[in-house]
Structure 1
Amino acid sequence: MYRVDVAYSLITNEEQDKVLIVRNIHSSSWSLPGGAVEVDESWSSAAIREAREETGIEVELLGISAVNECFFEDKGEHVIFVTFKAKLKSTDIMITRPHEIAVVKWVGLDEADQKMPYYKHGIRKLIESDVIPYDFQGKQTIKTYNSLK
């Protein structure tokens, strides 16, 4: 399997009752701003870069809030997802990559949990907790190896 590292920024408003999420144009699913770590790039640099590229805002990272891992067998990928808590340094949201990002919006924590169910214990827990949860999300596959023969 091919290893892919992905870095996300968990960006909340000052009251910490809303979170900034994005929807990619090629998907109906939502995520936190983030993406693949490039060659010779750190997880933290990738999180900052991806937040800026996807939302137009600058962030300051406060630390890791979650680590998730998943095997996407149909893609042959072993993905490590690292989510950082982030603080806004600028507030002007702008889609700077319309060829990649369809929507950027603030949502309440309950809506964030509905749109991003892969955070097993919920977004609120990531915001409030000092403990860094780790979840192995198992094998994600659409096809079995037998069906590929």
Structure 2
Amino acid sequence: MRRVDVVYTLLVNEEGTKILMVKNSGRDTWTLPGGAVEQNETLEMAAIRETKEETGLDVEIQGVAAVNEGVFTELKQHVVFITFRGIIAGGRMEIVRPDEILAVDWIDVEQADELMPFYKEKLKDIVRRDAEVAYYDEGVMTK
């Protein structure tokens, strides 16, 4: 069974009522911006890259909001999902990869929970909770 790390970025509007989500082509589902971590890439780097690729926005990562995992027997994968809390630092909201992303939109928090019901603690509760788990990239260890 192959291990796969997937990162998401949770971006919330100033009022705390909407979450930025993307509609994925192929599966026709809405998710937070994110995707698989590439080789030689940190979790944070992947979250920043995936958000830019899927939304056109530059983000700063503010810590880990949630960690989920699942075993997908048909795919022979053990997937760990790390959801980072982020803030928009620049860029322009746009569909950069129309072959992968059909839409980018601010979705009401309650609707986001219906579209992405995978969190034990609901997205609306994660949004309301100000605290996040600290994330620190320790870099490359030689010993």
Give the alignment's TM-score, normalised by structure 2: 0.88
Aligned positions, number: 132
Deviations 1:50-69 (A, max 9, x none): 00000000111110000000
CA drift of 1:131 comes to 5.8
* Greater mean deviation of Cα atoms: 117-126 or 97-106: 117-126
Q: Does 1:108 align with 2:108?
A: yes
Q: Any conservation in 1 of the 2:85–2:132 contact (CA below 8 Å)?
A: no
Give the partner amino acid of 2:32: L
Name the SS for the 2:20 alignment partner.
strand
CA distance in 2, matches of 1:68, 1:120: 9
Question: What SS class does the counterpart of residue 119 from structure 2 fall into?
Answer: coil
Identity, % of aligned positions: 44
Deviation, structure 1 residue 28? 2.2
The separation in 2 between residues aligned to 1:57 and 1:86, in whole angstroms, is 11
Aligned-residue offset at 1:91: 5.8
Q: Call closer, same or farther: CA 1:94–1:131 in 2, change over 3 Å.
A: closer
Distance 2:117 2:106 in 1: 17
Correspondence 1:63-82 to 2 at 5 A:
63-82=63-82
> In the alignment, what sits opposite 1:121?
121
TM-score (ref. length: structure 1): 0.85
Measured in 2, the distance between the counterparts of 1:98 and 1:108 equals 23
In the alignment, structure 1 segments of 5+ residues that lack a partner are 133-149
**SS of residue matched to 1:59:** strand
